[in-house]
């Protein structure tokens, strides 16, 4: 066992991994690079392949083809215990009949008792539970149990940390707090980390990069901001955040026809001749104080108060029967005043999908 808090992390490479369960393709030629010290989230709906990929990396499932590398080592065919990773499961999988100390020290085989005790103390201090050695899991809250499970995963000083929906059993407030703590700890240790989640808020909060998965494929692999601002596919646009879709046909390189409206597009909006325009609700300007491009009359249907923002459903006068959403700060609500409004669809906010 390495006596430092962690050993130098290694990059991880996934190369052309395929996995089938009968006629179902769970992973379809997936490739992925995770840099040393990076935290990458596998994000997607149930059945998209994210957990299967994590289990293949851990050696808990055997891929049908493809290679897996940790640093320069090909670990594709190695048993789980030879792959040098720590793992934190959704259920935490703590032994209820063992103390916190025994749970954390469980994987420190071949290590002297004093060395294990010292290591357990280090880990508990690291996760903010110093002095809890003699407690049992049943005496701890869900958040505390998660910290113990994390300490157990980190105790052998692995080169790679795998997290399988680690926050899903926690309530929203505890989840956000622990996401922040876990991210700070991961940065402090510099450990290469791969995390599975279906929660886009967790992914946005924690990840250096996000791999959005769908039907066994990676649809986009980029930073959280890139994925949100410039989604690569309609699935990514719809899965991450809210969005508006408008049917269009191109009438020039820089303009699109949407219903009775002629909208100017940004130079990098996309090249499709027809299809759908995508726009985030918060990018829409409502009753702008000065004239903006793509400004059109609209009618308010409903306004929903959401605390730090308001969501407005409206319909463009020149696109009847096609409700859209805008989001704005609560302080902007008084200047709406009436049901009839003007909205601007900034060219920079419009993205073209065929």
- What mean pLDDT comes out for the span 122-136? 90
Do the Cβ atoms of 289 and 247 come closer than 8 Å?
no
Do the Cβ atoms of 257 and 271 come closer than 8 Å?
no
Residue 72: pLDDT over 80: yes
Q: 231-258 pLDDT, tens per residue?
A: 999 999 999 999 999 999 998 889 999 9
State percent of the chain over pLDDT 70.
Answer: 95
Residue 318: pLDDT over 80: yes
Do the Cβ atoms of 9 and 160 come closer than 8 Å?
yes
Of the candidates 293, 234, 230, the residue with the CA atom closest to the CA atom of residue 263: 293
Lowest mean pLDDT among 25-29, 170-174, 188-192, 296-300: 170-174
Residue 340: pLDDT over 60: yes
What's the half-sphere exposure (Cβ side, CA atoms, 13 Å) at 39?
A: 24
Of the candidates 349, 348, 347, the residue with the CA atom closest to the CA atom of residue 327: 349
Q: 164-180 pLDDT, tens per residue?
A: 988 776 777 777 788 88
Residue 91: pLDDT over 90: no
Give all domains of the chain, ordered by start, each with its CATH number: 12-236 (3.40.50.300), 242-353 (2.40.50.100)
C-alpha 302: how far from chain center: 31
285 DSSP β-pair partners: 344
Do the Cβ atoms of 350 and 277 come closer than 8 Å?
yes
Residue 86: pLDDT over 70: yes
Give the separation between CA 54 and CA 149, rounded to whole angstroms: 18
User: What is residue 176's predicted lDDT score, i.e. its pLDDT?
Assistant: 79
Residue 349: pLDDT over 80: yes
Residue 21: pLDDT over 70: yes
Q: How confident is the model at residue 338 (pLDDT cuts 50, 70, 90)?
A: low
User: What is residue 108's predicted lDDT score, i.e. its pLDDT?
Assistant: 85
Residue 218: pLDDT over 70: yes
Q: Which residues of 269-307 are buried (b: 16+ CB within 10 A; e: fewer)?
A: bbeeeebbbbbbbebbbbbeeeeeebbbebebeeeeeee
Average confidence score pLDDT of the chain: 90
Of the candidates 115, 80, 86, the residue with the CA atom closest to the CA atom of residue 182: 86
């Amino acid at each position: 066992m390495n006596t430092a808090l962690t050993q130098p992390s290694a990059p991880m490479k996934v190369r052309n991994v395929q996995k089938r369960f009968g006629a179902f393709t769970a992973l379809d030629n997936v490739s992925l690079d995770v840099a040393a010290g990076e935290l990458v989230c596998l994000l997607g709906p149930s059945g998209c392949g994210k957990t299967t990929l994590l289990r293949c990396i851990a050696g808990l499932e055997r891929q049908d083809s493809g290679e897996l590398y940790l640093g320069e080592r090909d670990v594709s065919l190695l048993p789980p215990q030879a792959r040098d990773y720590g793992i934190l499961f959704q259920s935490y999988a703590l032994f209820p009949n063992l103390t916190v100390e025994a749970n954390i020290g469980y994987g420190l085989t071949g290590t002297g008792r004093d060395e294990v005790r010292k290591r357990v103390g280090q880990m508990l201090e690291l996760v903010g539970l110093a002095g809890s050695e003699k407690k049992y899991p049943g005496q701890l809250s869900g958040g505390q149990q998660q910290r113990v499970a994390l300490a157990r995963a980190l105790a052998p000083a692995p080169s790679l940390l795998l997290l399988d929906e680690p926050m899903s059993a926690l309530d929203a407030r505890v989840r956000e707090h622990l996401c922040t703590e876990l991210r700070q700890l991961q940065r402090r240790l510099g450990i290469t980390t791969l995390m599975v989640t279906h929660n886009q808020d967790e992914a946005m909060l924690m990840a250096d990069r996000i791999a959005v998965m769908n039907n066994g494929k990676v649809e986009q692999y980029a930073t959280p901001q890139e994925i949100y601002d410039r989604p690569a596919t309609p699935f990514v646009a719809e899965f991450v955040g809210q969005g508006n879709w408008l049917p269009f046909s191109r009438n020039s390189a820089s303009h699109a026809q949407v219903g009775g409206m002629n909208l100017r597009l940004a130079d990098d909006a996309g090249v499709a001749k027809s299809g759908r325009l995508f726009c985030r609700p918060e990018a829409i300007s409502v009753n702008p104080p000065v004239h903006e491009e793509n400004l059109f009359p609209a009618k308010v249907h409903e306004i929903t108060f959401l605390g730090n923002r308001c969501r407005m459903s409206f319909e463009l006068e020149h696109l009847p029967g096609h409700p859209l959403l805008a989001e704005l700060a609560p302080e902007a609500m008084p200047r709406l005043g009436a049901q009839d409004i003007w909205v601007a669809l900034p060219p920079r906010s419009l993205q073209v999908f065929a």
